[in-house]
A and B are shown apart, each in its own frame.
Chain A
């Protein structure tokens, strides 16, 4: 089935590499906030000034945005629109798809420019794509091993779940 085995699992070392890369990108582009979102709306990592921002909501809406424009692309015979740009009075948002699966979002103002963002994103996308490729490979390899690293939920009980709902 097409949708099987697509759960995203990130380990400490993966997250560190991802965060390092987006921190570098943030510095290079002089942007305010960068975050990575899974296409299904889950926030993977973020870097920057996010104190006043609801990054969870931003992540969900970004995924919705990409999904909607993907639907529009199909209607006109395109595979997808891989870059979206929203221009505001003060802040702008640059959105791009990496390795067909992850969405890179950069929020920047007049201290940066669209040109520099596009340029740096291109380079950084390759690095991030490589990291996610390795994450995927690791997951597939794990799937082939008898038990892999296992799910953190392997030993949960009905009582554990009941407790969640207090």
Chain B
């Protein structure tokens, strides 16, 4: 749910990074944080376990710049990927404006990817959203590893709707900003058309 404040001339939007555990959602956000100018970013918050698995969410406020006199801010969230944190995932999806699905390209994570996409659809539906209608992009992460599925296989299994997709190696940043830009663009276009969630 976006928030438009005419008084401070600000547009605020919420983007959620979704996907299976250890797929690289936090790494995406961490890379964006590391590469963004200090004046354009707020503090990154990670509510993680001692073993650095996301427990509740990561949060990064990002000021992208000004469009038509309005400061454009994106709030990036990740969800905990582990299956048993479903209650937390549902909460974080509340009021979402756009979703990035971060898939783990490794062959042995294919089932986990597919389960997570299904879980995303169900949890969105519970909140009254339809994945087919909201701004949505898919990222195939970990492309640098040896045992990865082909893009064709990943597309067929995880992206039947043929939404924009990107190959990525999140720790090095490859594909990270491309993914963010694609989802941000869709969110802004949806706002332009008077839509929004």
A→B interface (CB under 8 Å): 1-4, 6-12, 14-16, 38-42, 44, 54, 56-57, 60-61, 64, 67-68, 70-71, 150-156, 158, 160-161, 163-166
Contact = CB atoms under 8 A, between A and B. Distances in A.
Residue from A38, A42, A153, A158 with most neighbouring chain B CB atoms (10 Å): A153
B70 A164 contact: no
Interface string B55-74: 01101010011011110100
A2 B59 CA distance: 26
B3 A44 contact: yes
B53 interface: no
Interface stretch (B98-106, B123-131, B135-143): B123-131
B61 A56 contact: yes
B192 A40 contact: no
B130 A1 contact: yes
Contact of A155 (B6, B12, B61, B68): B68
Given A3-B128, A57-B45, A71 B87 contact: yes
Contacts of B163: none
B75 A41 contact: yes
A57 B194 contact: no
Contacts, number: 140
Residue from B11, B59, B64 with most neighbouring chain A CB atoms (10 Å): B59
B64 A60 contact: no
Contacts of A156: 67-68, 188, 192
Contacts of A42: 1, 3, 12, 14, 75
Interface stretch (B113-121, B149-157, B164-172, B177-185): B177-185
B42 interface: yes
Contact of B42 (A14, A57, A61, A165): A57
Given A67-B91, A152-B70, A163 B65 contact: yes
A156 B14 CA distance: 19
Nearest to A152: B70
A10 B6 contact: yes
B94 interface: yes
Given A56-B42, A61-B45, 6 more contacts: A7-B197, A9-B4, A12-B7, A41-B95, A42-B12, A160-B68
B91 A71 contact: yes
Closest 6 CB pairs of A and B: A40-B95, A2-B128, A15-B7, A3-B128, A67-B91, A42-B3
A87 to B, nearest CB: 21
Contact of A68 (B5, B56, B61): B56
Contact of B59 (A38, A44, A60, A71): A60
Contacts of B14: 40-42
Contact of B191 (A8, A16, A153): A153
Contacts of A38: 1, 3, 95
Given A1-B128, A57-B42, A67-B94, A152 B7 contact: no
A7 B1 contact: yes
Contacts of A54: 42-43
Given A56-B61, A156-B67, A164-B64, A151 B3 contact: no
